[in-house]
Amino acid sequence: MDQNLLVATGIKVTYGKHAGLFGSKPSTPVLHGVDIRIGRGQTVGIVGESGSGKTTLGRALLRLVDVSAGKIAFDGRDITHIPETEMRPLRRRMQMIFQDPMASLNPRHTIRRILTGPLLLHGLAGDAATALEQVKSVLDRVSLPAACLERYPHELSGGQRQRIGIARAVLMQPDFVLADEIVSGLDVSTQAQALRLLKSLSRELGLAMAFISHDLSVIRAVCDYVYVMRLGKVVEEGPCEQVFASPSAAYTRALLDAIPLPEYDPGWLERRTET
Amino acid sequence: MTENLLTVTGLSAVSDREGGMPVLRDVGLTLKNGGVRGLVGESGAGKSTIAKAILGILPRTVRITGGWINFKGRDLLSMKPQELRSIMGSEIALIPQDPQTALNPARRIGAQLADGLKLKRDMSARTAEAHALQLLADVQIRDPDRVMKSFPHQLSGGMRQRVLIAAAFAVEPELVIADEPTTALDVTVQKEILRLIRHMQSARGTGVLFVTHDLGIVAQICDSVTLLYAGKVIEEGPVRNVLENPNHAYTKALIAAGPRYDRPDAGLEPVPEAVFRELRQEIGIS
Ligand SMILES: Nc1ncnc2c1ncn2[C@@H]1O[C@H](COP(=O)(O)OP(=O)(O)OP(=O)(O)O)[C@@H](O)[C@H]1O
Ligand SMILES: Nc1ncnc2c1ncn2[C@@H]1O[C@H](COP(=O)(O)OP(=O)(O)OP(=O)(O)O)[C@@H](O)[C@H]1O
Ligand SMILES: [Mg+2]
Ligand SMILES: [Mg+2]
pLDDT in tens, A213-227: 988 888 998 999 999
The whole-angstrom separation of Cα A227 and Cα A131 is: 37
As beta bridge partners, residue B238 has B224
pLDDT confidence of residue A20 = 52
Helix (H, G, I), strand (E, B) or coil at A89: helix
Q: Whose CA is nearest to atom 6 of ligand 1?
A: B154
Full DSSP string of A232-263: TEEEEEEEHHHHHHS--SHHHHHHHHTPPPSS
Q: For chain A, give the mean pLDDT.
A: 89
Q: Is the CB of B41 under 6 A from ligand 2?
A: yes
Amino acid at A76: G
What is the share, in percent, of chain A residues with pLDDT greater than 90?
61
How many angstroms is it from B110 CA to the middle of ligand 1? 18
pLDDT confidence of residue A21 = 55
CB-nearest to B261 from A50, A220, A263 is A220
pLDDT confidence of residue B209 = 97
Ligand 2 pocket test, candidate residues B14, B16, B17, most atoms within 8 A of CB:
B17
pLDDT confidence of residue A158 = 73
pLDDT confidence of residue B189 = 85
Cross-chain Cβ contact B188/A192 below 8 Å: no
Q: Which residues surround ligand 4, an ion (CB under 5 A)?
A: B 48
Q: Is the CB of B96 under 6 A from ligand 2?
A: no
B180 to chain A: which residues are within 8 Å by CB?
185
For residues B27 and B12, the answer to whether their CB atoms sit within 8 Å is yes
pLDDT confidence of residue B116 = 83
Q: Is A102 on the interface with B (CB under 8 A)?
A: no
Beta carbons within 8 Å of A205's beta carbon, 6+ residues apart: A170, A173
pLDDT digits over B174-185, tens only?
999 999 888 878
Q: Is the CB of A158 under 6 A from ligand 2?
A: yes
For residues B71 and B99, the answer to whether their CB atoms sit within 8 Å is no
The whole-angstrom separation of Cα B111 and Cα B104 is: 10
Which residues lie with the beta carbon below 6 Å from any ligand 1 atom? A 15-16, 28, 30, 48, 50-56, 214; B 153-159, 184
Q: Is the dihedral of CA A243, A194, A185, B275 positive or negative?
A: negative
The rounded radius of gyration (Å) of the Cα atoms in chain B is 19
Q: CA angle, B283 as apex, B281 and B286 as ends, to 5°?
A: 50
Cross-chain Cβ contact A190/B243 below 8 Å: no
Cross-chain Cβ contact A268/B239 below 8 Å: no
Cross-chain Cβ contact B216/A159 below 8 Å: no
Ligand 2 pocket test, candidate residues B8, B25, B48, B234, most atoms within 8 A of CB:
B48
How many angstroms is it from B232 CA to the middle of ligand 3? 34
Query: In order of start, what are the domains of chain A with their CATH numbers?
Result: 1-16+26-93+176-275 (3.40.50.300), 101-173 (no CATH)
Helix (H, G, I), strand (E, B) or coil at B137: helix
Cross-chain Cβ contact A220/B259 below 8 Å: yes
Helix (H, G, I), strand (E, B) or coil at B201: helix
pLDDT digits over A109-128, tens only?
999 999 999 999 999 999 99
Full DSSP string of B216-269: HHHHHH-SEEEEEETTEEEEEEEHHHHHHS-SSHHHHHHHHHS--TT-TTS---
The whole-angstrom separation of Cα A152 and Cα A106 is: 9
Q: Is A245 on the interface with B (CB under 8 A)?
A: no
Low-confidence residues of chain B: pLDDT under 70: 1-2
A218 to chain B: which residues are within 8 Å by CB?
259
Residue A13: DSSP 8-state: E
Q: How confident is the model at residue A274 (pLDDT cuts 50, 70, 90)?
A: low
Q: Is A167 on the interface with B (CB under 8 A)?
A: no
Q: Is the dihedral of CA A242, A245, A250, A253 positive or negative?
A: positive
Beta carbons within 8 Å of B101's beta carbon, 6+ residues apart: none
Identify which has the larger pLDDT, A44 or A104. Answer: A44
- pLDDT mean over A23-50: 88
For residues B73 and A218, the answer to whether their CB atoms sit within 8 Å is no
How many angstroms is it from B191 CA to the middle of ligand 4? 22
ipTM of predicted assembly, 2 dp: 0.85
- pLDDT mean over A255-270: 91
Strands (E), chain A: 4-15, 19-20, 23-24, 28-39, 43-48, 69-74, 77-78, 94-97, 176-180, 208-212, 225-230, 233-239
- Taking residue A53's Cβ as centre, other Cβ atoms within 10 Å add up to 26
pLDDT digits over A61-77, tens only?
999 999 999 999 999 99
The whole-angstrom separation of Cα B104 and Cα B110 is: 12
pLDDT digits over A166-202, tens only?
899 999 999 999 999 888 777 888 888 888 888 888 8
Cross-chain Cβ contact A181/B220 below 8 Å: no
Identify which has the larger pLDDT, A52 or A158. Answer: A52
Identify which has the larger pLDDT, A16 or B275. Answer: B275
The alpha carbon of residue A241 is apart from the nearest alpha carbon of chain B, in Å, by 9
Give burial (CB, 10 Å; 0-12/13-18/19+) of A129: exposed
Q: How confident is the model at residue A17 (pLDDT cuts 50, 70, 90)?
A: low
Identify which has the larger pLDDT, B36 or A144. Answer: B36
